[in-house]
């Protein structure tokens, strides 16, 4: 949800209309069994779960426009309509199905994708999915099938024409390989005597529609499917980006495109498949208790710290390991000691005037008067927006955020190198204790009051400009902290959009809009306790 929210907010930052849809997938055998175990009706069980995810989305500041539930009436109607369309077009047939079925994964696996293992807790020999490690059982039943194999050539042609359809590219290769080598027809219903919790097949009430056909259609039903002619785009269809976990790539990158092709609907433009968070280097699983409670984490660290950490450290290609100690360590180094420190050094520093520096140097002629180090730093700052935007375009928000944090670290290093506080001391010394002859000698040595003041202002301007640009680009990642940063730097509210993300574009800032306080009061990122 956070990755999707960051991508959505980035588009809004760039002045584009963007719609974010999330929600809950509520049908299937797994839900039916969990509700039975909890001793409550499935709908009541799902209502509780939906409330949890709604609350979580609100807690982490998700700017969602649509929250879809697969138990919504509008979704059920859309699923029934889609089934009828697929049946009318000859893509559904009835047949006996045998295979290894995983209740947990809600899917059948061919013999090549299962293996015999010994279950450590019980010592039982069980068959499990090689991909997920979940137990499977041999099932034989009569149900409906979707002619998935008929779309092999069409899918492969689509992948070839759209090589960036699946991000990262490594997973695109896996998808192409699977379609090329093992694309068989898909069982898309379950007998009611085995699965009651779901949408019934419209023409056969003895069968329940397979949860993954049902769930995937929620993207379309959320956008208003079935669409009246010309109305699809107003609801956001087709999606520019689907954001999914790596464990459901097959469903989203093979089944879903095939369903859409069969229905005659345009496909999403890209699918971002992210890696997982592990805990103690082990996969998180509710069954083993190896999990993190996100509400507890938010209580401990707050919204922006969690948003920042999960994007900055989270993996797109490779899994990342979660640990409270890592959050504290990264926070102290990057946010408190990096961005927060730079903000305090510049905006609370003594001996210089940020507003004067901005007014003097926020113009295209800056490089004409700057020394080589300042020119080099100005060039690096100027290149930053395009670098970050490229990472966002490539669907790597983690790299975009890491690039922003490196820019802050570079500016802190530059500030340490120039040491404007030392220049201030020299300037004060010359102003109070220097004779006319000494002023002349200082001027010859390049240390006249005017030269020192210019060097100080150049450095302060570059640091302030880094804060301004980074603050603008951090808004999709850490909205509250980015707003405070821009308030502290004095950037006007209407000048916080992408069009202002250019060196020297804004010469009106430099006076704080909030009280900067003393000590930790008023700092951007206060200290954290490490007692966890």
Give the pLDDT score at 532. Answer: 46
Give the pLDDT score at 132. Answer: 82
pLDDT grade, residue 286 (50/70/90)? confident
Give the pLDDT score at 63. Answer: 87
Q: What is the DSSP letter of 36?
A: H
Only one residue has tokens 């279950």, namely: 119
Token representation of residue 141: 């039943």
Task: Report the distance separating Cα 136 and Cα 127, nearest Å.
Answer: 6
Tell me if residue 24 falls in helix, strand or coil: strand
Q: What is the DSSP string of 360-388?
A: HH-STTHHHHS-HHHHHHHHHHHHHHHHH
Give the pLDDT score at 219. Answer: 96
What Rg, from alpha-carbon coordinates, does the chain have?
Answer: 29
Mean pLDDT across the chain, nearest whole number?
Answer: 92
Q: Which residues contact 213 (CB under 8 A, 6 or more apart)?
A: 79, 82, 83, 146, 188, 255, 259
Give the pLDDT score at 530. Answer: 52
Q: Are 278 and 284 in contact (CB under 8 A)?
A: yes
Tens digits of residue pLDDT in 314-357: 999 999 999 999 999 999 999 999 999 999 999 998 889 999 99
What are the CA-CA distances from residue 436 to residues 423, 433, 441, 452 (Å)? 20, 10, 9, 17
What are the structural domains of the chain? 319-500 (1.10.730.10)
Mean pLDDT of the 55-65 span: 93
β-partners of residue 208 are 190, 200
- Using the predicted structure, report yes or no on whether residue 243 has a pLDDT greater than 60: yes
Tens digits of residue pLDDT in 435-488: 555 544 555 555 788 889 989 999 999 999 999 999 999 999 999 999 999 999
Mean pLDDT of the 295-317 span: 96
User: Closest by alpha carbon to 1, among 75, 69, 64?
Assistant: 64
Give the pLDDT score at 234. Answer: 84
- Using the predicted structure, report yes or no on whether residue 134 has a pLDDT greater than 90: no
Tens digits of residue pLDDT in 154-202: 999 999 999 999 999 999 999 999 999 989 999 999 999 989 999 999 9
Give the pLDDT score at 47. Answer: 97
Task: Report the distance separating Cα 358 and Cα 469, nearest Å.
Answer: 13
- Using the predicted structure, report yes or no on whether residue 74 has a pLDDT greater than 90: yes
What is the H or E stretch that residue 143 is in? strand 137-146
Torsion (CA) 454, 459, 464, 467 in degrees, nearest 10: 170
Give the pLDDT score at 430. Answer: 78
Strand 137-146: give its sheet, edge to edge: 107-109, 92-102, 137-146, 186-187
Torsion (CA) 351, 355, 359, 362 in degrees, nearest 10: 90
Residue 12's Cβ-count burial label (10 Å; 0-12, 13-18, 19+) is middle
Token representation of residue 246: 């790596």
Q: Which residues contact 413 (CB under 8 A, 6 or more apart)?
A: none
Give the long-range contacts of residues 63-66, CB within 8 A, separation 24 or more: 63/5, 63/8, 63/9, 63/12, 63/20, 64/1, 64/5, 64/20, 64/21, 64/22, 65/19, 65/20, 65/21, 66/19, 66/20, 66/21, 66/22, 66/23, 66/222, 66/223
Only one residue has tokens 């539930």, namely: 69
Token representation of residue 40: 């409550």
- Using the predicted structure, report yes or no on whether residue 519 has a pLDDT greater than 90: no
Q: Which residues of 72-105 are buried (b: 16+ CB within 10 A; e: fewer)?
A: beebbebbbbbbebbeeeebbeeeebebbbbbbb
Whether the pTM exceeds 0.85: the reply is yes
Give the pLDDT score at 459. Answer: 95
- Using the predicted structure, report yes or no on whether residue 254 has a pLDDT greater than 50: yes
Token representation of residue 348: 């609370």
Give the pLDDT score at 447. Answer: 73
- Using the predicted structure, report yes or no on whether residue 87 has a pLDDT greater than 80: yes
Q: What percent of the chain has pLDDT over 70?
A: 95
Weakest mean pLDDT among 103-112, 304-313, 429-438: 429-438
């Amino acid at each position: 949800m956070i990755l999707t929210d960051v991508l959505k907010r980035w588009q809004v930052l760039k002045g584009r209309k963007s719609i974010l849809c999330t929600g809950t997938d509520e049908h299937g055998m797994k839900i039916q069994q969990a509700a039975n175990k909890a001793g409550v009706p499935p709908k009541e069980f799902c209502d509780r779960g939906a409330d949890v995810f709604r609350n979580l989305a609100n807690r982490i500041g998700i700017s969602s426009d649509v929250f879809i539930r697969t138990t919504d009436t509008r979704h059920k109607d859309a699923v029934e309509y889609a089934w009828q369309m697929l049946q009318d077009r000859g893509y559904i047939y009835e047949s006996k199905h045998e295979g290894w079925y995983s209740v947990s994964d809600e899917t059948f696996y061919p013999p090549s994708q299962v293996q015999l293992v010994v279950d450590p807790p019980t010592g039982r020999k069980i068959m499990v999915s090689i991909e997920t490690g979940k137990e499977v059982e041999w099932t034989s039943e009569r149900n409906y099938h979707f002619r998935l194999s008929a779309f092999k050539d069409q899918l492969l042609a689509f992948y070839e024409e759209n090589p960036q359809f699946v991000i990262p590219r490594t997973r695109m290769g896996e998808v192409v390989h699977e379609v090329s080598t093992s694309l068989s027809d898909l069982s898309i219903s379950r007998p009611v005597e085995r699965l009651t919790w779901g949408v019934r097949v419209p023409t056969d009430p003895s069968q329940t529609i397979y949860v993954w056909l049902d769930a995937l259609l929620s993207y379309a039903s959320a956008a208003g499917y079935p669409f009246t002619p010309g109305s699809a785009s107003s609801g956001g269809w087709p999606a520019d980006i689907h954001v999914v976990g790596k464990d459901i790539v097959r469903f989203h990158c093979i089944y879903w495109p095939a369903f859409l092709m069969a229905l005659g609907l345009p496909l999403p433009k890209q699918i971002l498949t992210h890696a997982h968070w592990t805990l103690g280097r082990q996969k998180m699983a509710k069954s083993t208790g190896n999990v993190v409670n996100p509400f507890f984490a938010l209580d401990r660290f707050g919204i922006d710290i969690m948003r920042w950490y999960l994007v900055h450290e989270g993996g797109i290609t490779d899994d990342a390991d979660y640990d409270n100690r890592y959050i504290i360590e990264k926070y102290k180094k990057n946010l408190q000691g990096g961005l927060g420190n730079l903000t305090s050094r510049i905006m609370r520093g003594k001996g210089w005037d940020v507003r004067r520096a901005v007014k003097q140097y926020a113009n295209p002629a800056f490089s004409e008067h700057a020394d080589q180090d300042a020119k080099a730093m100005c060039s690096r700052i100027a290149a930053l927006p395009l670098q970050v935007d490229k990472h966002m375009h490539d669907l790597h928000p983690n790299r975009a955020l890491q690039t922003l944090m490196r820019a802050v670290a570079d500016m802190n290093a530059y500030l340490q190198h120039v040491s404007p506080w030392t220049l201030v001391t020299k300037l004060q010394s010359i102003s109070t204790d220097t004779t006319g002859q000494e002023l002349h000698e200082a001027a010859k040595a390049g240390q006249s009051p005017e030269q020192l003041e210019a060097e100080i202002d150049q450095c302060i301007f570059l640091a302030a400009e880094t804060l301004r640009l980074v603050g603008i680009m951090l808004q999709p990642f850490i909205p509250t902290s980015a707003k405070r940063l821009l308030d502290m730097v004095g950037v006007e509210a209407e000048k916080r959009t992408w069009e202002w993300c250019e060196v020297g574009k804004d010469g009106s800032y430099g006076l704080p809009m909030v009280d900067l306080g003393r000590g930790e009061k008023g700092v951007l990122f206060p200290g954290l306790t490490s007692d966890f």
